[in-house]
Amino acid sequence: MLELLAQTALNATYAASYIALVAVGLVLIFGVMGVINFAHGELFMLGAYAVVALYADLQLNFMMAVMVGLAFVGCVGLLMERALFRPLRDNPLGGLVASIGFLLILQALVVMGFGVRMEHIPPVTQEVIAFSDRVRFPLSRLYVVVAAVVLLTALWLFLKRTRFGWALRASAQDPEAAALQGISINQTARIAMFIGAGLAGVAGALTAPLVSVNPLMGHSVIVTAFIVIIVGGIGSLEGAVVAAVAYAFVHTIVTTFYDGVIADIVGLSLMLLVLIVKPHGLFGTAERA
Amino acid sequence: MPRASAWTLGWLALAVALVLLPQALSFSQQEILVFLTINVLLVSSYRLLTLTGEWSLGHAVIMGVGAYASALVTKWTGLFVPLSMLVGALTAAAVAWVLSFPLFRMKGFYFLIGSFAAGEIIRLLWKRFQDPFGGAKGLKRIEPMPNLDLGFHHFDFFLPTNYYYFALVAVGICLWLMWRVERSPMGLAFHAVHWQDKLAQASGINVRGYRMLAFVLASGFAGLSGALLAHYIGTINPGSFGVEQMVFILTWAIVGGTSTFYGPILGVVVLTILNEIVLRGMGFEQARPLIYGFILILSVLFLPKGLESLVQGAMARWRVAAPRPAPVEREKQA
């Protein structure tokens, strides 16, 4: 029993890592631009396909493929900012609808390029850290955890210690006052979008060898991310991380003892429960827009 | 000609055109006409929901609730199909009523995502429970509409034309009801809740109550559209009411516009014609999600008030270009 719990905790830690990367990106985009990016799951999917193209097909180095995935998806984020969210800045619902349109386009393009079938990606490493006979943690999962911790710490330092970070947080708090202080709203939006999309992309790239990669994989990712950001409070980065960990543990435990679909239902129900008790999420303050 | 009789003539002409329409179409086009009729009801019910200013992402699933309920009721009890469709509609309304307690604690984005999550829970329940929902494969061989002999015409509802007439009557009645609702004091309250919710509240209007009422009513009509669909195609599964269907509803409503009654109907008609004639006719059927995605983005960016704004603009211009002779007549009478 103890071993089972330990194993579940390890699995949950891995799940929490990539969920946190996705959710933090989503929160960052919402905080700075005031729009819910419905295509965020598809950005994750694009990151995974970057690894399919570069690592599985072209046989490049895995780390290299992940880096390119991050940069590429970040640039897709810049495209979204320029083409969709900037013209629709005064229309948050419009931004959300446009991102749904963009989601369809990304899915269709990937179907055209790669087909609808599941992609096979050779494992990066077969090595397993064995704590005991029944408690084992594959090294490839540890990579994801380490990458998430490093990236999120870097983001935190960036936001709290650099001028760009200050500007970003200022425009998240009050865009007009920030603009009056000489902060370029367009530039902070670009930075937030690049980072937010890049985090989704890197999460997709890192987990690509560990999950089933197909053009529709973004759906479950965005559902999970929504649960996490709602529970954490839509505007709160810390809330997103805490909620990601909590959700990952609940989901993994229920999956272990029942099955995955029940775990999804439990997760969604918990989210509704949180909303009933605290309509702005556990860490949320007030609603924006 | 007096205005009132011009309207009557216009409606009569539309009715005759709608009755004759299937004669001009091929068999497969007649089938699409049935779907279009059902979708008109679906998207109009969605507009009823948006009247109070809340946009739901659970509407496709609510439609599915009506479909599942009606299909299961006929399977278990053998109830007369049109009656079971009403049961389906009532079930959808009841489910919406239950959901509205958690959902209407939220507003705006929280409501949007909350409704999406609530819908996903229902869809996962269908997927998970083989009994009674049939799991991921869904329900098959759903009881069809029984044949009907009216003396002058024998209605075999396997034929799309006949089912189209049935759906047309049902949808026509529903549209009339929705129109009446919007014109009633209740409808005015919906608008007040949307545009002036603080003022409405101060005037003693129960804002949350009216939001719930609009949601429940809209869900009932959506449930009926689902039931109409289920008994026509005979097979439904959780995938039929997923994100893709929701995106279609959203696209129709946004491309058409939601500030007028005819806006969403215009949207679904134009997009269906575009889809069937342009895409399928030219062999672009595979690219449908791609093209819908572009249409959604382009209409949000460049036609944010929808196709209805084009109609309104054209009508305004027409009125300016052709001033009515009314003032002259009034002078004569004087």
DSSP labels, B242-264: SHHHHHHHHHHHHHH-SSSSHHH
A104 to chain B: which residues are within 8 Å by CB?
247, 289-290, 292-293, 296
Higher pLDDT residue, A221 or B107? A221
Candidates B300, B301, B305: best to mutate against A (most CBs of A within 10 A) is B300
Residue B331 belongs to some domain of the structure: no
Q: Determine whether the interchain pair B105/A104 forms a contact, defined as Cβ–Cβ distance below 8 Å.
A: no
Residue B14 belongs to some domain of the structure: no
Q: Specify whether the CB–CB gap between B30 and B160 falls below 8 A.
A: yes
Residue B32 belongs to some domain of the structure: yes
Q: How far is B316 from chain A (nearest CA, A)?
A: 26
Q: How far apart are CA A252 and CA A259, in angstroms?
A: 9
Nearest to B247 among A100, A108, A279 (CB): A100
Q: Specify whether the CB–CB gap between B58 and B118 falls below 8 A.
A: yes
Searching chain B, which residue's CA lies closest to the CA of residue A99?
B297
B12 touches chain A (CB under 8 A): no
Give the length of chain B.
334
In which residue are the tokens 């595979």 written? B286
Residues B122 and B249 in one domain: no
Please list the residues that pair with A136 across neighbouring strands. A130
Q: Indicate the residue among B223, B240, B257 that finishes a domain.
A: B240
Residues B291 and B148 in one domain: no
A230 to chain B: which residues are within 8 Å by CB?
110, 113-114, 117
Residues B63 and B199 in one domain: yes
A97 touches chain B (CB under 8 A): yes
B121 touches chain A (CB under 8 A): yes
Domain of B133 in residue numbering reads as 26-240
Q: How far is A170 from chain B (nearest CA, A)?
A: 22
Element (H, E) at B199: helix B197-202
Q: Specify whether the CB–CB gap between A15 and A251 falls below 8 A.
A: yes
Q: Indicate the residue among B240, B268, B297 that finishes a domain.
A: B240
Residues 272-291 of B with CB under 8 A from A: 287, 289-290
Residues B63 and B194 in one domain: yes
Q: How far is B228 from chain A (nearest CA, A)?
A: 28
Alpha helices in B288-325 (DSSP H): 288-302, 307-321
Q: What does the pLDDT average to over B312-329?
A: 69
The pLDDT value recorded for residue A145 is 92
pLDDT along chain A (289 residues), means of 10: 85 92 92 88 94 88 90 94 89 86 92 84 81 82 91 90 84 80 85 93 91 88 89 82 91 88 88 79 56
Q: How far apart are CA A46 and CA B290, in angstroms?
A: 16
Give residue limits of the domains in chain A: 2-216
Q: How far apart are CA B330 and CA B334, in angstroms?
A: 6
A216 to chain B: which residues are within 8 Å by CB?
none
The residues, ordered by sequence, that sit 6+ positions from A268 with a Cβ below 8 Å of its Cβ are: A223, A227, B117, B118, B120, B121, B124
Q: How far apart are CA A55 and CA A58, in angstroms?
A: 6
Residue B1 belongs to some domain of the structure: no
Candidates A111, A258, A272: best to mutate against B (most CBs of B within 10 A) is A272
Among left, alpha and beta (phi > 0; psi -120 to 50; other), residue A105 is alpha
Burial class (CB in 10 A: 0-12, 13-18, 19+), A153: exposed
Element (H, E) at B105: none
A36 to chain B: which residues are within 8 Å by CB?
109, 112-113
Nearest to A268 among B109, B120, B296 (CB): B120
Residue B18 belongs to some domain of the structure: no
pLDDT 10s digits, A202-256: 999 999 888 889 888 998 899 899 889 888 877 788 888 999 999 999 999 998 8
pLDDT 10s digits, A243-268: 999 999 999 999 888 888 889 889 88
- Kindly tell me if the per-residue pLDDT of B86 is higher than 70: yes
B109 to chain A: which residues are within 8 Å by CB?
36, 92, 96, 234, 287, 289
Number of domains in chain B: 2
Q: Indicate the residue among B240, B274, B294 that finishes a domain.
A: B240
Residue B250 belongs to some domain of the structure: yes
Residues B128 and B252 in one domain: no
Model ipTM value:
0.83
Residues B104 and B202 in one domain: yes
Q: Specify whether the CB–CB gap between B223 and B63 falls below 8 A.
A: yes
Sign of CA dihedral A28, A31, A37, A38: positive
Residue B229 belongs to some domain of the structure: yes
Candidates B275, B297, B299: best to mutate against A (most CBs of A within 10 A) is B297
